[in-house]
Amino acid sequence: MQTVQIERYSLTQIFWERRWLLIVVIIAAVIIAGIYAHRLPPEFQTEVILRLHSPAEVEASVQSYIPALPAITHLMKSQDVLLQAIKDGKLLSENAEFAEWSHPYAIDWLANHLSISQPAKTDLLIVQLYGPFSGGQKIREFMDRYWTAFQKKIQTQLQKNLQAEQERLALLKKSLLQERESITQEATQRAASKRQLLQTQERELEQEINALKIVRNLRIPAGEQNATFEGATLREEFIALNDQLTETQKELRLLNTHTISVFEDLRTEWVGIEQDLGKLNLLLVKLNHLSRHFTVLELVNAPLEPKAPTGPSKLGITLFGALIGFVIGLLLIFFLGPATERRKTSPAR
């Protein structure tokens, strides 16, 4: 117990004797941190608020062609968009702080200092940017040019995707039209063969009917005076032949006006193709309208020009420097102190 008390007293004594070393280290650290903080360029922050046109605002048939939020966020930080914004916004040429940067370094810096968020249960996107620009006007102008570059990029990509889809659907439509044409040709061939049979049948029926018309008993209905069983039979045969002729002529007219409807299997295929073509034509019209009039993002609030810098926090940097100085001072006291004490207590030779 006495040894522990002696060691505790020794450490306390060492700290007290070296207290000026701690104070000097803290003051030096505060001075260095303060100089560093005051030499840092001022940082400004601005934001732009965008409205995302959700797929629910367009018809269900074209919802899948509208980019979702993850795709938009990824595109916002893509190298193409950032590089175009750096060039259009003259980030390196009009801001002295970035003058010595290379384009790859500027792209990485911009990706890390650009934040994109979406408030819960809203269709808004908040894009924020902060950095050591030459002034509030510079960061506002750059943010405005970045938004313009991104708007062009996403609209170009949307139109490119829609054009590719329209071309794919046009090929599908061409295939359906060819299939419909083949059905038409097959129906025409079948109709020509069937028309010959029906025309032959029509001529034969007309000949039989004309032959029956010259028979006198055919004109006397059964049960009347001078009527015979043979006359009644001939009359029934005449009516049957006449009905057959009517049906044959009806089939011929249908064959001439609605060729495909005569053949059930071809009619089913034809109806299916016509339905697909109708849906396809409607979708092509909608996609064309979408590529001409639809915008993925709408500007709600333009970038604001900050009136004063938002950073860096000089006080925070100075206090952090004081904390680092305090830690370094303690380490110096407790590492240098025991060695000095050992030298004092070691016996002289």
User: DSSP string spanning 178-208?
Assistant: HHHHHHHHHHHHHHHHHHHHHHHHHHHHHHH
Q: Whole-angstrom Cα distance, residue 204 to residue 198?
A: 10
165 is a domain residue: no
Together in a domain, 316 and 264: no
> Looking at residue 226, what DSSP letter applies?
T
Decide if 20 is inside a domain: yes
- What pLDDT, on a 0 to 100 scale, did the predictor assign at position 176? 93
The answer to whether the CB of 298 falls within 8 A of the CB of 123 is: no
d(CA 40, CA 97): 10
Pairing of strands 114-117, 124-131: antiparallel
Contact in structure between 85 and 150 (CB atoms under 8 Å)? yes
Q: At what angle do helices 314-345 and 2-17 cross, to 10 degrees?
A: 120
Same domain, 323 and 220: no
**Burial class, 110, CB count within 10 angstroms (exposed 0-12 / middle 13-18 / buried 19+):** buried
Which range marks the domain in which residue 207 is found?
Answer: 175-293
The structure tokens listed for 205 are 């029926």
Residues 215 and 267 in one domain: yes
Residue with tokens 């400004």: 44
Q: Are 281 and 183 part of one and the same domain?
A: yes
How many independent structural domains does the chain possess? 2
Q: Is 133 exposed, middle or buried, given 0-12, 13-18 or 19+ CB atoms closer than 10 A? A: buried
CA distance 101 to 131: 14
Q: How far apart are CA 198 and CA 201, in angstroms?
A: 5
Is residue 332, in this structure, part of any structural domain at all? Answer: yes
Q: Is residue 75 part of a domain?
A: no
| HSE toward the beta carbon, residue 23, CA cutoff 13 A | 5
Q: Are 260 and 318 found together in one domain?
A: no
Are the beta carbons of 283 and 170 closer than 8 angstroms?
no
Beta strands in 14-61 (DSSP E): 44-52
DSSP state for residue 96 in the 8-state scheme = G
Give the tokens for residue 18.
Answer: 């070296």
Residue 217: predicted pLDDT: 54
Contact 26, 329 (CB under 8 A): yes
Shared domain for 337 and 239, answered yes or no, is: no
Q: Write the CATH number for 203.
A: 1.10.287
Domain contains 74: no
User: What H or E segment, with its residue span, contains residue 298?
Assistant: strand 297-301
Any idea how long the chain is?
349
pLDDT reported for residue 171: 93
Residues 208, 289 share a domain: yes
124 contacts 49 by C-beta, under 8 angstroms: yes
Is residue 269 located within the same domain as residue 329?
A: no
pLDDT per residue rounded down to tens, the chain (349 residues):
444 444 554 667 777 777 788 888 888 888 888 888 777 778 889 999 998 876 554 555 666 777 777 888 888 888 888 998 888 888 888 888 888 889 999 999 999 999 988 888 888 889 999 888 888 888 998 999 898 888 888 888 888 888 888 898 899 999 999 999 999 898 888 888 888 888 888 888 888 878 777 765 555 554 554 455 566 677 777 788 888 888 888 888 887 877 777 788 888 898 999 999 998 898 888 888 888 878 888 888 889 888 888 877 778 888 888 899 888 888 888 777 555 555 555 454 4
For 141, the token pair is 């102008």
Alpha carbons 227 and 271: distance in angstroms, whole number = 54
Query: Are 184 and 288 found together in one domain?
Result: yes
Q: Alpha-carbon distance 249 to 243, whole Å? A: 10
Assess whether 234 and 327 both reside in one domain.
Answer: no
For residue 198, tell me if it sits in a domain: yes
Same domain flag for 236 and 318: no
Strands (E), 80-216: 114-117, 124-131
The verdict on residue 248 lying in a domain is yes
289 plus 318 within the same structural domain: no
**In a domain? residue 51:** no
Q: For position 4, what pLDDT does the model report?
A: 46
